[in-house]
Structure 1
């Protein structure tokens, strides 16, 4: 009987982790669709991203409810409790990634509805979007494999995304100074770039949760070198 209960418990945990990965896949596809809509001006795709945001919200609530049930029914041991806490925090980060994707889509709608698009470098955010979405994908892969070393590599990428964001700001400031008519659209592009920088931050958070599960240490707010030592040690 005890063995049966234990197997059911493991199955419950795996089901929740699987649903979290499903949510991760959803918000990653939302981010990809958002940048595609931004680049192409495909209004149908842009509107679909905004409409689909509620799916991520619904998954967040459902997974949190399941986690609450497991804590009440199973009284998890320390290692399982770490996994449960990390899944709960990761789901919050994923929901916020979904929010950022919807924000990018809303900015894209405004940008392409404006008459002042010509000459403004919409592609300026192309590289930062690639870095951010790549970080998200790799953080989820590290979670699926509980790979602390891979998670540490994701954390290290945060420096690149911050540098890229600063470069975009400098480029757009030049455009706004040269032609004040571009100010409104340029500011919207800044918000798009900022949204991708935030997606990178949430991806780094997810990677830190993986290290917490595997190593049992909260590595938030510590220097990168120390985080890497902890993950690889």
Structure 2
């Protein structure tokens, strides 16, 4: 049986990504660095500042769009970006928090550490909202991958590495009863030893367990232990209220 991962942008939520976002925003908000330049020229400046390829800069931009920080299409080859108009309202809030955390990190005192913990809790709330609304649309079918994951974890109690990819492969639409029945049958057979998999069975998006699942973990809604074939995913029962709200 061929297995397919859900698509991903190639970046996941992390301290490193937040640092890169701040550098990128600093350049976009600096009139001297923008100075009449459009996105193709600006991404070269950002690339040099970050020490990464321009392709990685484009990936960061797409990630910022997908996470509701940047207005989609606001950075393009036709317009000189205006820092006052390219970010979403919620994106500006997140950016302010990122900047505040960066300042707090330099202070090295207990009060700052407490503020950082509070800020990180707000990050989780932000990403919970973003990820619960995130969708894949293909051939007119709509799927909320976070919701599908939470539903599967609630039903099966846990998912391992191969079960994660069974979920990705079989579930392609919200609340599709036929797909959900197929997934249940596959997991029952897999747990009974009737289905076995190897790495070559993974055909597409082979790192969704890192990127997609990693983002879900950052949001605090799931817990992950182990890696690859020893991976085990469970619900974070401390977040039951929001989990039930997303699933319903």
TM-score tier by shorter-chain length is under 0.3
Structure 2 length normalisation: TM-score? Answer: 0.27
Question: More helix by proportion, 1 or 2?
Answer: 1
Structure 1 length normalisation: TM-score? Answer: 0.28
